[in-house]
Amino acid sequence: MRKFSLLVICIFLFSGITAQEKTEKIKWQANRPLSWNDFKAKPDYTNSYSANTNSGFSYSWTYSTASGKPVLEHEVHTNFYPGKSWVKDVQDKEYLLAHEQLHFDISELHARKLRRELENYIPGRNIRQDLKKIYNSIEAQRVAMQNKFDRETSHSANKVAEEKWRDFVSKELEKLERYSS
């Protein structure tokens, strides 16, 4: 029984490690737009939407005083997750793909905002809490903007609003070009 329990635990740990390793990500790059081949999840036909983009940003940081002064290093990445993103068979696929790309671009916009905040952050006594607050605030802004984008464009049905959003996001990305990855 003891050997069996140990075997079950080993299988569980190994399957957890391989599951983490298999999470495919596509990093945001200005010269690498999404294609429909990137959307690998099975479509959710119970959902009324034609496609779903799963994207976001993540960060990591280290802090050291080894040099005699506080040094905060950080990395921020914007990722698209193919295994969680899907598309149904729709007619105007290129237009819809541009809408889904804009969701990914909105995630990159907020990653740049996070990079700017982290660059301007002066380490204090509560670094971990401070950085968590900064991240949570920008993540909340990202989610709110994603929702506003879908609401105002009626999930890509309103082409006039869609064009305004494309212009807006493009200009915002340009303003924060200094903070691109």
Beta-bridge partner residues of 57: 78
Q: If you average pLDDT over residues 100-117, what whole number do you get?
A: 98
pLDDT band at 15 (very low <50, low <70, confident <90, very high): very low
Question: Do 79 and 55 touch, CB atoms closer than 8 A?
Answer: yes
Q: What is the pTM of this model?
A: 0.86
- Domain assignment present for residue 46? The answer is yes
Q: Token digits for 70?
A: 């506080």
The more confident residue out of 8 and 125 is 125
| Calpha distance 79→58 (Å, rounded) | 8
- Domain assignment present for residue 59? The answer is yes
The more confident residue out of 16 and 34 is 34
Q: Is 178 helix (H, G, I), strand (E, B) or coil?
A: helix
Domains: count for the chain? 1
Does the pLDDT value for residue 46 go beyond 70?
yes
| Calpha distance 60→15 (Å, rounded) | 25
Plot region of 43 (φ>0 → left; ψ -120 to 50 → alpha; else → beta): beta
| Calpha distance 85→5 (Å, rounded) | 36
Name the residue range of residue 92's domain: 24-179
**50-81 residue pLDDT tens:** 999 999 999 999 999 899 888 999 999 999 99
CB atoms within 10 A of CB 92: 12
Alpha carbon 111 to its chain's center: 8
pLDDT band at 21 (very low <50, low <70, confident <90, very high): low
pLDDT band at 91 (very low <50, low <70, confident <90, very high): confident
- Domain assignment present for residue 60? The answer is yes
- Domain assignment present for residue 133? The answer is yes
| Calpha distance 13→133 (Å, rounded) | 32
- Domain assignment present for residue 80? The answer is yes
Question: Do 82 and 24 touch, CB atoms closer than 8 A?
Answer: yes
- 3-state DSSP helix/strand/coil % of the chain, to nearest 5: 55, 15, 30
